[in-house]
Amino acid sequence: MAQDLYNNTEARLRFEAYSRLQAAAVAFGESLPIPEIVAIGGQSDGKSSLLEAFLGFRFNVREVEMGTRRPLICLMVHDPTAETPRCRLQAEDSEEFGSPIYPKTAVAEAIKEMTEAHLRQTGGTVSAKPIVLRVEFAYAPNLTIIDTPGFILKARQGEGESTPNDILEMVKAQAAPPNRLILFLQQSSVEWCSSLWMHVVQELDPNFQRTIVVASKFDNRLKEFGERWEVDRYLSAAGYLSANVKPFFVALPKERTISKSSEWREQIQAVDRMTLQHMRENIAGGFDEERFGSCIGFGNLKRFLEEELARRYRDAAPATLALLHERSNSLAAELAQSESKLHDMQDTASLRRLAMKQVGATVMSFQEMLLEGVAAPELMQHGLTLEEERAASSAPQWPGVQSTAEVAHAELRLLGGASFERSMADFRAAINRLGFPGVGHASVANVLLSLSLKGASNGDAAAARAAQKVARSSARQLLLPLLDALIARLAAVLLRTWHIAVDHIVPQDDALRPYVAFNAELRAAFQAFVNLLEEQCRGLVRHQLDVATSAYAAKPLSISALTLEDDDDAVDAQNIPPPPTQILHDRDMMAASQMTVPETPSPEVLANNRRARRPLASFQPNLTAKPASNPVNKTYSSVCAMAERHFMAIRQSVAAEEAPAIVKAAFLEPVSRRLATDLSIHLFARTDQHFMNWFASPGAVEVLTVKRDALARRVDGLVRCKNEFAELARCL
């Protein structure tokens, strides 16, 4: 019954189908739950010898260290017509196998060369990518075993210190999938309680549901047993392994000079017979043969693995067929999409549609980041702190501001609209720390003397007008660089946000990604758009600053508000208009004797003339005046104080009220209304010949062609496997 399970037509058909599926999965990187056997264990625990025993011939006579740093998938195919082993290695990144390797002893050298070439390419000492060896032989079973590098405690000379851990992690990854049986080898001379690597198996398969434990080199341990209870206790592994674990005890020929395959197979059978004979005759009382007889010898292990793998193949066939249907359909759809992209890359109308789609998606993403905010974690990693943002802009410092103020959210990594608003807050904080600059005596004297030529009415009025002029000049000189720096900072924020939007959109639809010229033109078009906005914004801000610092400003401070009179009551009441009756009755009607003829100056006119001459006289040297009077310093201080008040008023009006609104409107309104249109005109309002110049990239078409061809091979291979399993399902 057991023989029929794994040695009949259906079993061979199943094995062939799974073998080809396994080769295709390795070639194309597919992850399919195919029943497999993974051999693991420490170095020198006998995995290579066990593999040769399964194959029925020795291919590593010279003990070449062949695949000790890469997994080796050995596909054994029982072919009654192959009296000589046909060994073929699968090419890297292909499902095709090379020519048969002769003589068979050259297989180990070929595996070694393949391993070294791959490790040179990857630059490592260990690789998880397996080598696939297909062996067709009359004396090989229908079996697939994955031989893994042996666990080591110390790296070899010339290898990195991390090699032992790299091997451990790689082997664990190979044995982790639940569809794989774990064939764990351990030398029988090691006590169960002293096992170095049993913990790895317990970590991978805590209940030993898919683990077969093999005590190798059993002949070495056999010499230590003298009585039945000793050997039975060791064979049961009581107290060390679970009751459901059934260890196998295997001894193989030690003679390494055996070269003929027939001699090797005969020696394996002879060792099995001698082992049983020794246990029956040389141990007092023998051993519990009914309980442990089926676990002794290589023949029993081979039979068990063939039965177990055949059973798992049969049980997994329906699920594997369903999975192949799903994967082949998915890959077929991917292949159709790839062919469509390849066609589009050579068609102007299709390229225009793809480009418009990408531009539209990028604009929408950019507008969302700028106007609605960003919450996606993959985008937040591109944000900058305020200090990083300052350093990245063309104006890292605010001109004329010596110290920096604390700005809310300065340590947060922001982008888009949040970064735009934080830059505005940084500007307002800088403006608030901008003080009135010092004004020299000569500057004040120049203004006052110029005003005297225009016949200023009195000294206080002239001083007030001089203060206004000084304040307006200082405001233009200090505020304009700050406003220019703000515009440059905001333009940089827009550019960074655009680049993030482009990088975020392009990978999602990478059909146009290989075309460097088009993607560069897309970025250049937005750069030109921002440059235009920057230029327009500067014009608006400069015009607004000119208006605010003009003598005809909409809200000028009155001259009386700027004069520094000693009469506080007069100052307090300066902006309160008198009632109409007060204008008529403040003074009595003059009598005729009090009226003057026009040619005679009145006392009021004389007083006004004296006040008009006072500012000029204050700057004339007065050699007879006492030092304590100092009218020059008094007038200069008055002008400076009044100029500072007027400067602060202009600063508040421009920086805190009008400029932010102008800047936001100049940048954000065009982004929401004109960006898509302007970019479309720049990119698509061109002749087909000019447009296709951006896509004259043969390399991009070649990349898509290679991808399409690789997908076609994968689809072809999986469809063949699917058809084989469909045929297999009809046979079951």
Q: Which domains does the chain have, with CATH numbers?
A: 27-303 (3.40.50.300), 356-574+633-694 (1.20.120.1240)
Q: Is the pLDDT confidence value at 182 over 90?
A: yes
Residue 22's pLDDT is 64
Residue 186's pLDDT is 92
Burial of 204 (0-12, 13-18, 19+ CB in 10 A): buried
Residue 276 pLDDT level (bands cut at 50, 70, 90): very high
One DSSP character per residue, 375-436 reads --HHHHTT-B-HHHHHHHSS--S-TT--S----TTTTS-B-THHHHHHHHHHHHHHHHT-PP
Q: 246 — alpha (psi -120 to 50), left (phi > 0) or beta?
A: beta
| CA–CA separation, 234 and 279 (whole Å) | 13
Residue 423: name the closest of 411, 410, 435, 404 by CA.
Answer: 410
Instruction: Give the Å distances, CA to CA, from 542 to 100, 475, 480, 539, 605.
Output: 83, 12, 7, 5, 43
Model confidence pLDDT, tens digit, residues 560-604: 444 444 434 433 433 344 444 443 444 445 444 444 444 555 555
Query: Amino acid letter at 268?
Result: I
Q: How far is Cα of residue 609 from the mean position of the Cα atoms in its chain?
A: 80
Residue 529's pLDDT is 93
| CA–CA separation, 521 and 701 (whole Å) | 20
Of 14 and 705, the one with more pLDDT: 705
Share of the chain above pLDDT 70, in %: 76
Residue 539 pLDDT level (bands cut at 50, 70, 90): very high
The per-residue pLDDT of the chain, averaged, comes to 77
Burial of 128 (0-12, 13-18, 19+ CB in 10 A): middle
| CA–CA separation, 483 and 527 (whole Å) | 20
Query: Amino acid letter at 354?
Result: L
Model confidence pLDDT, tens digit, residues 695-717: 766 666 677 777 788 888 878 87
Average pLDDT over residues 712-726: 77
Half-sphere exposure of 413 toward its Cβ, with a 13 Å CA cutoff? 10
| CA–CA separation, 59 and 501 (whole Å) | 58
Residue 31's pLDDT is 65
Q: From edge to edge, which strands make up the β-sheet containing 143-147? A: 86-89, 131-137, 72-78, 143-147, 36-41, 180-187, 211-216, 248-249
Q: Is the pLDDT confidence value at 80 over 50?
A: yes
